[in-house]
Chains A and B, each alone.
Chain A
Amino acid sequence: GENVEQHPSTLSVQEGDSAVIKCTYSDSASNYFPWYKQELGKRPQLIIDIRSNVGEKKDQRIAVTLNKTAKHFSLHITETQPEDSAVYFCAASIRSGATNKLIFGTGTLLAVQP
């Protein structure tokens, strides 16, 4: 079935260190993989995304890598800061009829310790 697994569920790092969150997906036809940051009670905020024709994408301190063969993708945050503390979700697009729906991973609570 449609499934996106995400690990770890919680991650605590020291300010300045790197954080890595990993996701795997089940549908080999998935072609769009966004990452969201969500603060309590707010809407998910897109921080970076990658499409299936690209293996890696970087935006300042944030990068995403995609391995289509293994069906997994990862979020890398370097030089973490306390304001990076939040819940992060990966997602994968799943073809459903004439549209693509987004299925979310289970989330990672990132705590950056000052």
Chain B
Amino acid sequence: GAVVSQHPSRVICKSGTSVKIECRSLDFQATTMFWYRQFPKQSLMLMATSNEGSKATYEQGVEKDKFLINHASLTLSTLTVTSAHPEDSSFYICSARAPDFRGLLEGGYTFGSGTRLTVV
């Protein structure tokens, strides 16, 4: 089945530094990658939609200069949290829509394993 690999799984960084999170689609080409953020005991909130070779589309209220998204290839998308602060501490998770088992239609959404970011 479709697999999205996300790294790192956990990261602790100092306030003011930047952190990069990677998501790779291992056995399919992800033309679109979605980035979510989940605070404790809350839902997954869509931050942005990243399209290969073009600028990401950010949801309302998400700072594009703080959360830099790069989707340089069909198998790799990155999210960089710049100048991180304690309030950015959260669970970040990516998702891509994979083709169905025949490779013809779009199947379900495949999620990465998530990154627990703690800013101290």
Q: Assuming A101-B49, A102-B109, A104-B43, is B57 touching A96 (CB within 8 A)? A: yes
Report chain A residues within 8 Å CB of B45: 104
Report whether B32 and A99 are in contact in the complex, using a CB–CB cutoff of 8 Å. Answer: yes
Contact of B97 among A41, A89, A100, A105 (CB under 8 A): A100
CB of A46 within 8 Å of the partner chain: yes
Report chain A residues within 8 Å CB of B57: 96-97
Q: How many residues of B contact A (CB 8 A)?
A: 23
Interface of A, secondary structure class, is strand
Report whether A102 and B95 are in contact in the complex, using a CB–CB cutoff of 8 Å. Answer: yes
Q: Chain A interface: which size bin? A: 10 to 19
Closest A residue to B31 by beta carbon equals A99
Q: How far is the CB of B10 from chain A (nearest CB, A)?
A: 9
Report chain A residues within 8 Å CB of B108: 34, 46, 49
CB of B116 within 8 Å of the partner chain: yes
Report whether A89 and B46 are in contact in the complex, using a CB–CB cutoff of 8 Å. Answer: no
Q: Chain B interface (Cβ within 8 Å of chain A)?
A: 32, 34, 36, 42-46, 49, 51, 57, 91, 93, 95, 97, 106, 108-109, 111-114, 116
Q: Chain A interface (Cβ within 8 Å of chain B)?
A: 34, 41-44, 46, 49, 89, 96-97, 99-107
What are 5 A-B contacts defined by CB distance under 8 Å? A42-B113, A42-B114, A89-B43, A96-B49, A106-B43
